[in-house]
Structure 1
Amino acid sequence: MLPANSFRMDSALALEIEQVSRQKALEEEALRGESAVRQFYAGTTALITGGTGFIGKQLIEKLLRSCDVKRIYILARSKKGLSMEERLQLQFKDPVYDNLRSQQPDFAQKVIPVEGDISELGVGLNDEDRMKLEQEANVIFHVAATTKFEEPLKKATFINVRGTREILELAKCCKNLRSFVHVSTAFFNATKSRINHTIEEKFYESPVPPEVMIQLAETVEECRLNAITADLIRDWPNTYCFTKAIAEDVVRTMGKALPVAIVRPPVVVCTLNEPTPGWVDMSSVIGPSGIILGVGLGVTHVVLIGEIMIAIAPVDYVNNTVLATAWETDKRFKNNEKESKIYNISNSRCTLEKNLLCDVLKNPNTKQYATPKAVWYCYGFETGSDVVFWLLTWLLHYIPAYVADFVFNVTSMKRPEGIKSFVKMYEKIYKMSLLYGYFLRNQWNFVDDNTVAMLNQMSKTDRILFNFDISKIDWPHYMLIWCIGLRKFIVKDGLKDSDYGMKKQRWLKIAHISFYTLFFGVVFSLLYLACRIFMSVI
């Protein structure tokens, strides 16, 4: 007879299965009710820009799985030697589509790629495709954007500002348009002068008139534009936030006669429920996700973060907000409510502890979900000081990195997978930490009255099928989902051998203490020797 614990399930896998079962039971009950949101999408044709990005991937999946849409057009371009069709075929192999594939094996037949480029005039459409979209598109989701904080201003303007203008020009020509949703960012107006201030669900004055900014990007050489970027963006932290603020003014001016709305998500992170808990892709492993991944692998040991309530939202909650917004916008427009509405996604109402990110990383309960692929002992210090961060980076990152690179270079030891140089890796981590440090050390209060009002008017069925009630999220539990999601979809350790991962951490802790004991012993010995020599000379 086998021992009772022979078939004990891995703790990480058990957590995932528990979350899936809970969500499945809710959805099965909800499907027996009436859904106004699903009825709105039944038989519609949607156009999505940015469908190959993190938000776009899950938006496509949710539309196909939960809404009986007729078809979805994806504005895409050839990239890295792959045609738009090949890019989509590759994308549909992503685990985010696994559940959909099991339910609808032929789901890809509803998704039609359209050759285009959001940064080009006319979004790069040929006449035939443009005419087709003008005739068929009922709902447009404008998700495409460059989110790189260091993007040159010219490129950021072409994509985020002019691209928004061009897609709205297309929307004006769509004969059967029912709704247009522009996905902005909660940080569009997160300027230095507004730190600790309230960001309301309204339009704000554009930092530069959109047409002036577009003309500058079209006529001024890139090197000259780069030289004056700091003077242009002034109070804004980067070109991303700056151009997204201008893009909202494009929506304000051009969307007056259209069924238009804006959704402003905060930092978008892994799914909580749909289509599977913890789903995340490589494109989103920056910012908070990168911190958790780095600490969980024993790579990151110091985090530049302040005592704030970090503004984050699961991607499935973001897309449920987007889908519900399109439904409400159509309803409002039919009721002759023509003013564009804005929906902030915010966790300001949550009982979310400050510095929850670091608290969870220190929580001993997370040790039971340790990955066996960790390269070193998992621990982390947090600081809001640039000076302290620099000092700790040298002590905890660079010095061990130089030692590790030296050991691997002079011996035949195999490097950890994906790490060619520890020093170069930590240079990238340091650079990204400084870029994201602005948002992880400062806070803004995002008013979400419109979003909450929309949720409250939805039926019980729709509140389950298209749930975006962030105030009800169990955040400590979600953080654990986040950890196992990074393990499953990024580290790809199969959510197994967590017990071995915990044992490995105990041994790595001993190695960690031994290394720094030896290191400080050598340093103090050298200092003592130097002092003795100095005193003898005197």
Structure 2
Amino acid sequence: MTYRQINEFDAEKFTAAAVPTSYVSVPDFYAGKSIFITGGTGFLGKVFLEKLLYSCKDVETVYILIREKKGKTPQQRVEDLFNKPIFSRLKQKDSQCMKKVTAIIGDLSEPGLGISKDDEELLLQKVSVVFHVAANVQFYKEFKEIINTNVGGTKYVLQLCQRIKDIKAFVHISTAYCHTDQKVLEERIYPPPAELSEVLKFLQQPQHDKKQIKELFKKQPNSYTFAKALAETYIAENCGRVPTIIIRPSIISASLKEPLPGWVDSWNGATGLITASYNGANRVLLGEGGNFLDLIPVDFVANLAIVAAAKCTSSLKVYNCCSSGCNPLTLKQLVSHMNNVGFDKNVSIIFTNNKASLSTLTFFLQTTPSFTADMFLRVTGKSPRYMKIQSKLTIARNALNFFTCHSWVMKADNSRRLYASLSLHDRHTFPCDPTDIDWKKYITIYIEGINQFLMKKRS
């Protein structure tokens, strides 16, 4: 089935319905409630925390799970967090906002999240909404560590939710790539790639090689997506009475508007590869120019999570936070938009489906010029740097090869229906419909954000 056929079949344009008189606004839902967030110090977590405090000003307390760090108190860790530029507009609006945030010392990979009995009792009595944002996002981290953090941590968070006195919503941030065997990803629960009991039994073995792990993965590209798929299954089978939401973002990228246009603080995802391609360090990609690159701005993910919790019902609901099903961006279009960012740019990428060709082209177009440039630097008494860049680029590109050489259509019908059901004010405050993204403008914002926040260039 082609993209056009899929789009015509059931990806209709959603229009906002009349808001009922009993409608409760998103900020009003959070008024007087306390929230617990894991991963509040990560890329998505910081955007989420800032937006929640900025747009839901009457939230009572936000508890964030933070690992213990020698030499710093929990309060000092919170102060360090709020000193980042991402919180500047919030502090201008509310200079006392930090007082609403309380650090909970713990560790996602430890039973019971490693939190103290007193803190656990506090959460059980005070919290109404839980956002599980934290995860180990390194694709090729040690297998057991990934399972312990991304599956075990999810288990511990859900167990906490099941004991919370007045739980209104549990929101789990998954990934759209946890079911890569599906060419069209629907907003529903899929069978797991393996039984969790089978995986745990496998981990008890004294030794396991890469071949055994690959066999266990089946069609999963890496341990991160594999663990996320298992975590979804665990939630579906064990959420019980807890009102639960699973949100599946695709490739989370720089913010579109909030809290700062183009804000990004990590080279993960597509950011590193986009930067290298824009600056000429990368000239070759595995895949076809017509393949979809499913980017989603980080503020859209944060907004959808906040809104979904506010409108949560008793049944398990899945929301894909993706763009390819309703507003697709191809790799070729991405390159074209890059060339619109600067007048002096001529970004040119060669696409190939052949790994041997990828290696050959990389050698002639990237490795050889980098080696030559480093030789020149050495001769002139300067430190070489271009081969080091190529080494890092190779690692990043290898991690993304699977995603650039495949293409998926990720439906976002539930997400768009949810957005359309909001009042005009809530839709303006919490934008999260992917059809509103103008890719040409966004890629400019993205690259300018990379330059400003990661490469520290001044305009």
Deviation at 1:79, TM superposition (A): 4.8
Task: Tell me, yes or no, if structure 1 residue 205 matches structure 2 residue 191.
Answer: yes
Are 1:468 and 2:432 matched, yes or no? yes
Partner in structure 2 of residue 56 of structure 1:
45
Offset of residue 342 of structure 1: 0.4
- How far did 1:276 drift? 1.3
- Which has more radius of gyration? 1
The 8 Å contact of residues 236 and 242 in structure 1, kept in 2 or not, is answered as yes
**Farther-moved stretch of structure 1 (471-480 vs 303-312):** 303-312
- Which residue of 1 is the match for residue 285 of structure 2? 303
Find the counterpart in structure 2 of residue 165 from structure 1: 155
Given residue 213 of structure 1, which amino acid in structure 2 is its aligned partner? V
**Structure 2 unmatched runs, 5+:** 1-22
User: 1:367 aligned to 2:342?
Assistant: yes
SS of equivalent residue, structure 2 residue 242: coil
Residues 193 and 218 in structure 2, CA contact (< 8 A), matched pair in contact too: no
Tell me the distance in 1 between the aligned counterparts of 2:140 and 2:328.
33
Residue equivalent to 1:408: 377
2:33 maps to a residue whose letter is T
- Contact between 1:272 and 1:278, CA under 8 Å: does it hold in 2? yes
Contact 1:146–1:240 at 8 Å: present in 2 too? yes
1:149 maps to 139
What is the aligned partner in structure 2 of residue 431 from structure 1? Answer: 395
Contact 1:358 1:382 in 2 (8 A): no
Q: What per-residue deviation string (whole Å, max 9, x for no partner) do you get for residues 37-60 of structure 1?
A: 110011111100111111101000
Deviation at 1:88, TM superposition (A): 3.2
Pair 1:237-2:250 in alignment: no
Task: Report the TM-score when normalising by structure 1.
Answer: 0.77
Q: Residues 205-284 of structure 1: matches in 2 within 5 Å?
A: 205-217=191-203, 219-221=204-206, 223-224=207-208, 228-282=212-266
Q: What is the CA-CA distance between 1:378 and the residue it aligns to? A: 6.0
Q: Which runs of 4+ in 1 moved over 6 A?
A: none
State the one-letter code of the partner of 2:424: K
Could you list the per-position Cα deviations for residues 249-290 of structure 1 after superposition, in whole angstroms to 9, with x for gaps in the alignment?
1110111211111011100000001111100002xx234211
Asked if residue 458 in structure 1 is aligned to residue 422 in structure 2, the reply is yes
Aligned to 2:18: none
| Cα distance in 2, alignment partners of residues 179 and 315 from structure 1 | 21
Q: CA deviation at 1:106?
A: 2.3
2:330, 2:194 → 1: CA distance?
37
For 1:107 and 1:472, how far apart are their aligned partners in 2?
30
Give the Cα–Cα distance (whole angstroms) in 2 for the partners of residues 76 and 383 of structure 1: 42
| 1:322 is aligned to 2:299 | no
Q: Matched residue of 1:130: which SS?
A: helix
Q: Indicate which of 123, 130, 135 corresponds to 1:133.
A: 123
Which stretch has the larger CA shift, 402-411 or 264-273? Answer: 402-411
Describe the SS at the equivalent of 1:149. coil
* In structure 2, distance between residues paired with 1:140 and 1:183: 11
Matched residue type, 2:452: K
More helix by share: 1
Q: Helix, strand or coil for the counterpart of 1:357?
A: helix
The question of 1:485 aligning with 2:454 is answered: no
Question: Cα deviation per residue 1:58-79 (whole Å; 9 max; x = unaligned)?
Answer: 0000011000211111111035
AA matched with 1:58: V
Q: Contact 2:178/2:226 (CA < 8 Å) preserved in 1? A: yes
Query: Hey, what does 1:88 align to over in structure 2?
Result: 78
Distance (Å, rounded) in 2 between the aligned partners of 1:494 and 1:135: 47
Aligned residues: 433
Alpha-carbon displacement from aligned partner over 1:124-146 (angstroms, at most 9, x marks no partner): 11111111111111110001111
Assess, with a 3 A threshold, how the Cα gap between structure 1 residues 80 and 240 changes in structure 2: closer, same or farther.
Answer: farther
| Per-residue deviation, 1:455 | 1.2
Given residue 350 of structure 1, which amino acid in structure 2 is its aligned partner? Answer: N
Evaluate the alpha carbon distance shift between residue 354 and residue 227 of structure 1 in structure 2; reply closer, same or farther with a 3 A threshold.
closer
The amino acid of 2:233's aligned partner reads D
CA 1:305–1:276: 2 relative to 1, 3 Å: farther
> 1:380 Cα deviation (Å)?
3.1
Alignment partner of 1:382 is 2:365: no
**Distance of aligned partners of 1:206 and 1:320 in 2 relative to their CA distance in 1, 3 Å threshold:** same
The whole-number CA distance in structure 2 between the counterparts of 1:173 and 1:241 is 28
Q: Deviations over 1:85-130 (max 9, x none)?
A: 4443322222211111211222221111111111111111111111
Q: Note the alpha carbon deviations across 1:409-454, whole angstroms, 9 max, x for none.
A: 23223x5xxxx63223212211211210111221112222211211
Three-state SS of the structure 2 residue aligned to 1:89 is helix
Deviations 1:488-531 (A, max 9, x none): 11111122xxxxxxxxxxxxxxxxxxxxxxxxxxxxxxxxxxxx
Identity of aligned residues (%): 31
Query: Distance between the aligned counterparts of 2:25 and 2:252, measured in 1?
Result: 26
The 1:109/1:215 distance shift into structure 2, 3 A limit, reads farther
Higher deviation after alignment, 289-298 or 462-471: 289-298
One-letter code of the match for 1:442? H
Q: TM-score if structure 2 supplies the norm length?
A: 0.89
CA distance in 2, matches of 1:353, 1:246: 29
Aligned equivalents of 2:202 and 2:434: distance in 1? 40
Backbone CA RMSD of aligned residues: 2.0
Residue deviations 1:472-492, cap 9 Å, x none?
211111111111111111111
Deviations 1:354-392 (A, max 9, x none): 63212222x2x3224x7xxxxxx8633231332222122
Corresponding residue of 2:272: 290
For residue 346 of structure 1, what is the amino acid of its counterpart? C
Q: Distance in 2 between matches of 1:150 and 1:351?
A: 28
Letter in 2 for 1:449: D
Q: Deviations over 1:217-255 (max 9, x none)?
A: 3x334x426562112112111001111000001110111
* Secondary structure of the structure 1 residue equivalent to 2:435: helix
Paired residues of 2:287 and 2:351 also in contact (CA < 8 A): yes
Q: Name the stretch that deviates more: 180-189 or 389-398.
A: 389-398
Native 8 Å contact 1:201 1:450 kept in 2: yes
Aligned partner of residue 138 in structure 1, secondary structure: strand
